[in-house]
Amino acid sequence: MLECTKINIDGLDVISDKYFFTLDGLFNNDTDIIMNDLNTDGQRYDHTKIQVKKVVLDGWIKSKQMKDFLKLRQVLCNKNLKTFTISMSGIEDLTFKAQLQTWVDGSIGKFSIACSLVLPDPYLYALSSQIISLGAVVDNSLNFPTTFPITFGNIIGESDIIVNKGTASAYPVITVIGSCSDILITNVTTGEYMYINYQLLENDVLEIDNNPLTRSIKLNGAIRMDLKNGTWITCDVGDNEITFNRNSLESIFHCTVNLKSRYI
């Protein structure tokens, strides 16, 4: 069991002067091995699917107050998925969503509790994001005092490294703002790219969400899947080199890449 120093469930801290709980099974998982998913004769052995994850929330209500017992019941027993935020030594803060499956009184009465939880999405996500900005910016467009020949600054910002600190592939959310066209975003590390053949105006906002659960391309909040050319972009574990190319007369960072590391 990995020791958590903080467990927060929809705003309720369950490691506090009133509660002491632990989570077991956070990094356990089962996998479905798909032996044959072809429509014709033949088999594939390189295809798996991660199953839902089950964890145990185990502990007791230190205060032994009925109001604290009922508060925990209120948080855990409603019909919605609960948002968990946890801290552990040596790793960034993580978050996940889970639903209560069973509630069992412990051996010392109703103030000792063991809860079985199910994570429909079995992955854990970094609570905070890594962000890089890209855009082919001139770092010093004109050096003064001017002498001939005129010296221009270097072009920077066309590429940068974003790091997936987790143990599983993660999916960035990419936002492009400002007047530009012929947008090409590439993860050089994986070879994946997305090309958008569209002229953005000065106040336009293009959002590319690569997460399989929420995948979409939006222009000013409206779904525009017709703009997609290329592949969805993933970030492997470790360093990922992201490049951004576009046609524009503006020397600004048009593109923001937002990544939350993912753990399994």
CATH of the domain at 235: 2.60.120.860
Residue in 7, 195, 193 with CA at minimum distance from that of residue 98: 7
Average pLDDT, the chain: 89
pLDDT tens digits, 163-185: 999 999 999 999 999 999 999 99
Residues 29 and 81 in one domain: yes
State the residue range of the domain holding 185.
130-263
Residue type (1 letter), 146: T
Among residues 75, 95, 124, which one ends one of the domains?
A: 124
pLDDT at 140 (0 to 100): 53
Q: Are 69 and 92 in contact (CB under 8 A)?
A: no
Q: Give the Å distances, CA to CA, from 249 to 35, 157, 199.
A: 52, 15, 12
pLDDT tens digits, 199-225: 999 999 999 999 998 999 999 999 999
Q: For the residues 56-63, what does the mean pLDDT come to?
A: 95
Give the C-alpha separation, 47 to 41, whole Å. 16
Number of domains in the chain: 2
Looking at residue 143, the DSSP 8-state letter turns out to be -
Residues 8 and 30 in one domain: yes
pLDDT at 150 (0 to 100): 43
pTM of the model: 0.84
pLDDT at 155 (0 to 100): 55
